[in-house]
């Protein structure tokens, strides 16, 4: 089946550091990837939609200059949290959908737990 | 945007009991998925079920798209079934999934 790999799975870093998270589709091409954020005991909230070769679309309230998204190929999207602060600590998870097939399930990575000290 | 409501928010069961989780959505959908999030945060895809009925072992799901709801059935529950169950829907091709708030299931032995 379709596999989405997310790396790293866990990051602890100091306030002010920038952190890059990778999301890869291992065995299929993904024209679209999605980035979600989940705070403790809450649901997943969409942050942005990442389209290969074009600028990401951000949800209302998500700072595009803080959460930089790059989708340079059909198998890789990256999320960079710039100048991270403790309030950015969260669980970040990506998903991808198969290229050019409309009604197909989305496949999720295992998530990245980010802790900013 | 589309609204997704899950019930109940919390469910406590004894091992061996059966349960039904419900997901209501406010608009027509072309994607509906049920997930189990384990204690490590991994989202395990249980069913892709925008309509109809599917079964996988002790789990089954039914979506009645015309009435805008889906049900997840868990039979003979086990302690490993504990965790949060999410329903997520999409109503346009290629768009992101919108998640409900989840049902937290606790199964005790």
Asked whether the predicted pLDDT for residue B70 surpasses 60, the reply is yes
> In the prediction, which pLDDT does A105 show?
85
What confidence category does residue B107 fall into, taking pLDDT thresholds of 50, 70 and 90?
A: very high
Strand partners, A23: A6, A77
Q: How far apart are the first and last CA of chain B?
A: 41
CB distance from A7 to chain B under 8 Å? no
Which ranges of chain A have pLDDT less than 50?
none
Cα torsion A95, A99, A103, A105: sign: negative
Identify the pLDDT of residue A97. Answer: 82
- Asked whether residue B68 carries a pLDDT value surpassing 60, the answer given is yes
Flag whether residue A71 sits within 8 Å of chain B, measured between CB atoms: no
Position A28 scores a pLDDT of: 85
- Which pLDDT belongs to residue B93? 65
Report the candidate in A112, A7, A106 with the shortest Cα–Cα distance to residue B90.
A106
pLDDT digit string (tens) for B42-61? Answer: 999 999 999 999 999 999 99
**Alpha-carbon distance A98 to nearest alpha carbon in chain B (angstroms):** 9
A67-86 burial code (b ≥16 CB/10 A, e <16): bbbebeebbbbbbebeebee
Residue-level pLDDT at B75: 97
Nearest chain B residue to A95 by CA distance is B96
User: What confidence score (pLDDT) does residue B12 get?
Assistant: 97
> What pLDDT, on the 0 to 100 scale, is given for residue A101?
57
- Residues on chain B touching A107 (C-beta within 8 angstroms): 45
- Token reading at A61: 């309230």
Chain B residues close to A97, C-beta within 8 Å: 94
What is the tens place of the pLDDT at every residue in B16-39?
999 999 999 999 998 999 999 998
CB atoms within 10 A of CB B33: 25
The pLDDT of residue B94 is above 80: no
- Counted across chains A and B, CB pairs separated by less than 8 A come out at 55
pLDDT tens-place string over residues A60-72: 999 999 999 998 8
Three-class SS state of B16? coil
Instruction: Give A-chain residues touching B35 at CB under 8 angstroms.
Output: 108
What integer pLDDT is reported at residue B18 of this predicted model?
97
């Amino acid at each position: 089946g379709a596999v989405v790999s997310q790396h790293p799975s866990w990051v602890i870093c100091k306030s002010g550091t920038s952190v890059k998270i990778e999301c890869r589709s291992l065995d299929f091409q993904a024209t679209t990837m999605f980035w979600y954020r989940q705070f403790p005991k809450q649901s997943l909230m969409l942050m942005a939609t990442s389209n290969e070769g074009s600028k990401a679309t951000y949800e209302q309230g998500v700072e595009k200059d803080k959460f930089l998204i790059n989708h340079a190929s059909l198998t890789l999207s990256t999320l960079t949290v710039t100048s991270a602060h403790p309030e950015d600590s969260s669980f970040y998870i990506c998903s991808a959908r198969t290229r050019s097939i409309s009604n197909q399930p989305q496949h999720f990575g295992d998530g990245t737990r980010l802790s900013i000290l | 945007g589309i609204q997704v409501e899950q019930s109940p928010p919390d469910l406590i069961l004894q091992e061996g009991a059966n349960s039904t989780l419900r997901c209501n959505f406010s608009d027509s959908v072309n994607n509906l998925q049920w997930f189990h999030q384990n204690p490590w945060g991994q989202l395990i895809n249980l069913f892709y079920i925008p309509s109809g009925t599917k079964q996988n072992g002790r789990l089954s799901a039914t979506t009645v798209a015309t009435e805008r709801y889906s049900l997840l059935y868990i039979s003979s529950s086990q302690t490993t079934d504990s965790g949060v169950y999410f329903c997520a829907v999409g109503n346009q091709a290629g768009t992101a999934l919108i998640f409900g708030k989840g049902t937290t299931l606790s199964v005790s032995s």
